[in-house]
């Protein structure tokens, strides 16, 4: 069964493919279906609302089931910012490197013990008619480092230090397999997997 991943981020598709290693499942990108320029404005007021908006819109546009993710980094010292606006926090067209620099600048006077943060991911699955049929949320607790480390991952991974990882390693220091075991998206995917497996079997 083919399921559309509602993103144009190929790194996220590869991560989803690892997380949902389910027999009979093939994940595809919008570009694979001629929907490269199709996009959805994230106007929701929660991770669920944004994920649901994307899943429903991409499902209706493609006529197939769609899986969408909305995720964010919440930093306690910044009252939960950047949160829902993690991707756009430093400007609409900012690079990952600039987003990281921008966030670190805001935290330059914050001590190590006060740099607590968490990644949150919400996964929503829509049927071909755009109905949201299941969703799950996952989190990963940690803190923000003082400088980026590691070459793996994407987004804010190089400055996020998960509390379950020793020696101040960032998410970007981990292997793909290591990240999947502890990440917010990994936790959400493990909750969603039983439903998705049954959905594929019944389809």
Give residue 10's pLDDT. 83
Give residue 41's pLDDT. 87
pLDDT higher than 90, residue 11: no
List of residues 6+ apart from 112 with CB closer than 8 A: 143, 146
Average pLDDT of the chain? 95
Structure tokens at 64: 């197939």
Domain at 36, CATH number: 3.90.950.10
Distance CA 81, CA 95 (A): 18
| Residue environment code for 16-33, b if the CB has 16+ CB neighbours within 10 A, otherwise e | beebbebeebebbbbeeb
Looking at 29-84, which runs of residues are DSSP E strands? 66-75
pLDDT (tens digit, 9 = 90+) per residue, 133-168? 999 999 999 999 999 999 998 899 999 999 998 888
Give residue 8's pLDDT. 83
pLDDT (tens digit, 9 = 90+) per residue, 64-90? 999 999 999 999 999 999 999 998 999
The domain containing residue 12 runs over which residues? 2-202
Give the count of domains, the chain: 1
Which of the four pLDDT bands, split at 50, 70 and 90, describes residue 25? very high
pLDDT higher than 90, residue 92: no
Residue 69 a catalytic site member: no
Q: Three-state DSSP class for 67?
A: strand
Catalytic residue among 69, 70, 173, 180: 70
Give residue 167's pLDDT. 84
pLDDT (tens digit, 9 = 90+) per residue, 95-133? 999 999 999 999 999 999 999 999 999 999 999 999 999
pTM value? 0.93
Q: How many C-beta neighbours within 10 Å does residue 77 have?
A: 17
Give residue 80's pLDDT. 98
Rounded to an integer, the average pLDDT of 168-190 is 95
């Amino acid at each position: 069964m083919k399921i559309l991943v509602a993103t144009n981020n190929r790194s996220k598709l590869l991560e989803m493919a690892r997380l949902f290693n389910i027999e009979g499942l093939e994940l595809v990108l919008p570009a694979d279906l001629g929907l490269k320029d199709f996009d959805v404005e994230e106007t929701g007021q929660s991770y669920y609302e944004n994920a649901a908006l994307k899943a429903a819109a991409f499902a209706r546009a493609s006529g197939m089931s769609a899986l969408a993710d909305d995720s964010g980094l919440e930093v306690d010292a910044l009252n939960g910012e950047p949160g829902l606006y993690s991707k756009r926090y430093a400007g609409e067209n900012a690079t990952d490197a600039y987003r990281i620099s921008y966030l670190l600048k805001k935290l330059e006077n914050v001590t190590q013990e006060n740099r607590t943060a968490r990644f949150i991911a919400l996964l929503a699955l829509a049927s071909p008619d755009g109905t949201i049929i299941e969703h799950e949320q996952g989190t990963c607790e940690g803190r923000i480092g003082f400088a980026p480390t590691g070459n793996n991952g994407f987004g804010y991974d190089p400055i996020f230090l998960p509390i379950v990882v020793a020696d101040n390693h960032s998410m970007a220091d981990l292997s793909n397999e290591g990240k999947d075991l502890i990440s917010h998206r990994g936790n959400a995917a493990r909750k969603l997997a039983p439903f998705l497996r049954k959905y594929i079997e019944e389809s």
